[in-house]
Amino acid sequence: MFEFFVAPGNAGNVWLIILLTGVVTYITRSGGYLVLSRFKNLHPRAEAALEAVPGAVLVTLVLPSLLENGSLEVVAMGAALVASLRLSPIWVLAIGMVIVIGGRAAGF
Amino acid sequence: MSSSFRVDFLQGLKDCLPIMFAVAFFGMLFGATGVNNGLTFWQTLGSSAAVFAGASQFVFLELYNQQVPVWLVLLTVFAVNFRHFLYSASVGRHLDQFNWVQKYFGFFFLSDPAFAASEQKAEQGKLTPAYYFGYASSLYPVWLIVTALGAYMGNLITDPNALGMDMLLSIYFLALLMGFRSRPNWLTVVLASAVVSAIVYKWLGAPWHITLGALAGIVLAAAIGKPTPSEYGGAADV
């Protein structure tokens, strides 16, 4: 068992590794709740931290597409940003995608 | 099955439709990458079935190929998935209508889009189990089917970028991000996370920019977050 965990190269045990990555993922997906549900009242700072989670995480998911790409993608994201002030996510997505697909087809 | 359950479930399913297209792209990409990196068709599909989290599945592929020890694979998957820990902590505050089976079954499906949709729903009113499962668990069969398609077709997907598939999820996440802009200190948090995330992305590379960038914004929010008067019954002293 020890060998399995520390020795490099475990091709024979790929199913076990797949299963374990699934278990680890489930632990993260339920763990935050498990830990926090132990507290009756949340400290206001903890509450403020949790309120910040969507903004703090989503921006990190968006960022690489701006850092990795050229100006067309930046323009598309900028247009999507402006559109999102008024429109629902589906329309924002449509506008952004039209710019990306159209721009790439036109050779930008 | 009550009619309000059906209405909520279908609403969740409907809200999830656009995201299914984006997820389809990543699932196919994972399927194709899996079979081209030494996994069999069934192992590739098994990874999607057991994990159901795109980023960590790609990390698993990468590490599996480099023949690193298992403990390092698991630790890395844990670190990449740490944002889900924050998701369940945050969403956990809105689960009054869930019984414990619904909670612990539901956490399995707590993906990025499912988290964002749940938070939005909770903000608008009530997050019901029907809505949650209509949204979150609908993605699961889609994820499996597209993984299988990608694994089956292997190298056939030639140029997904021409169709802008690489930008789909980013634009959608941007729209979701903007949907939270009325939250306290939103802009400050987002800017802090963005700066730290960009630095980490350049310095350490993906996927560490997600966890470290997000933590920066969250820690800042905790540091500057003042208790509102109502939380102290109007007797705030700060």
Closest to B133 (Cα-Cα) out of B2, B15, B3:
B15
The alpha carbon of residue A39 is apart from the nearest alpha carbon of chain B, in Å, by 11
Structure confidence at residue B233 (pLDDT) = 40
Residue B120 has phi, psi (to 5 degrees) of -65, -45
CB under 8 Å to B27, separation ≥6 — which residues? Answer: B48, B54, B142, B143, B144, B145, B146, B147, B149, B150
CA distance B191 to B181: 12
Residues comprising chain B, all counted? 238
Query: B77 and B109 in contact (C-beta within 8 Å)?
Result: no
Structure confidence at residue A39 (pLDDT) = 82
Residue B207 above 80 pLDDT? Answer: no
Residue pLDDT, tens place only, B8-51: 999 999 999 988 887 888 888 889 888 888 899 999 999 999 99
Residue B155 pLDDT grade (very low, low, confident, very high; cuts 50, 70, 90): low
CB under 8 Å to B108, separation ≥6 — which residues? Answer: A26, A29, B52
Structure confidence at residue B80 (pLDDT) = 79
B116 in contact with A, Cβ within 8 Å: yes
B25 in contact with A, Cβ within 8 Å: no
B123 in contact with A, Cβ within 8 Å: no
Within 8 A of B194 by CB-CB distance, chain A residues are: 59-60, 63
Q: DSSP readout, B136-203?
A: HTTHHHHHHHHHHHHHHHGGG---GGGGTHHHHHHHHHHHHHHHTTTSTTHHHHHHHHHHHHHHHHHH
Nearest CA in chain B to A47: B222
The alpha carbon of residue B181 is apart from the nearest alpha carbon of chain A, in Å, by 8
3-class secondary structure, B105: helix
The alpha carbon of residue B155 is apart from the nearest alpha carbon of chain A, in Å, by 22
Q: Report which of residues B80 and B113 the model is more confident about.
A: B113
Structure confidence at residue B236 (pLDDT) = 39
Q: Looking at this predicted complex, what is its ipTM? A: 0.82
Nearest CA in chain B to A107: B162
Instruction: Tell whether the torsion through CA atoms of B194, B139, A93 and B12 is positive or negative.
Output: negative
Residue A1 pLDDT grade (very low, low, confident, very high; cuts 50, 70, 90): low
Structure confidence at residue A10 (pLDDT) = 57
Within 8 A of A104 by CB-CB distance, chain B residues are: 161-162, 164
Contact A59 B193 (CB under 8 A): yes
Flag the least confident range among A90-94, B133-137, B148-152, B226-230.
Answer: B226-230
Distances (CA, A) of A78 to A57, A61, A70, A72, B174: 19, 16, 13, 10, 10
Contact B169 A63 (CB under 8 A): no
Query: B152 and B27 in contact (C-beta within 8 Å)?
Result: no
Candidates A3, A16, A33: best to mutate against B (most CBs of B within 10 A) is: A33
Domain ranges of chain B: 3-180, 182-225
Residue B86 is classified by DSSP as H
Element at B32 (helix H, strand E): helix B3-35
Structure confidence at residue A8 (pLDDT) = 64
Q: Report which of residues A41 and B132 the model is more confident about.
A: B132
Structure confidence at residue B185 (pLDDT) = 92
Contact B198 A21 (CB under 8 A): no
Residue B227 pLDDT grade (very low, low, confident, very high; cuts 50, 70, 90): low
Q: Report which of residues A69 and A22 the model is more confident about.
A: A22
Contact A104 B162 (CB under 8 A): yes
Q: DSSP readout, B119-140?
A: HHHHHHS---HHHHHHHHTTHH
What mean pLDDT is predicted for residues B79-108? Answer: 93
B231 in contact with A, Cβ within 8 Å: yes
Q: DSSP readout, A48-63?
A: HHHHTHHHHHHHHHHH
Contact A60 B209 (CB under 8 A): yes
Structure confidence at residue B12 (pLDDT) = 95
From B193, B222, B228, residue closest to A49, measured CB to CB: B222
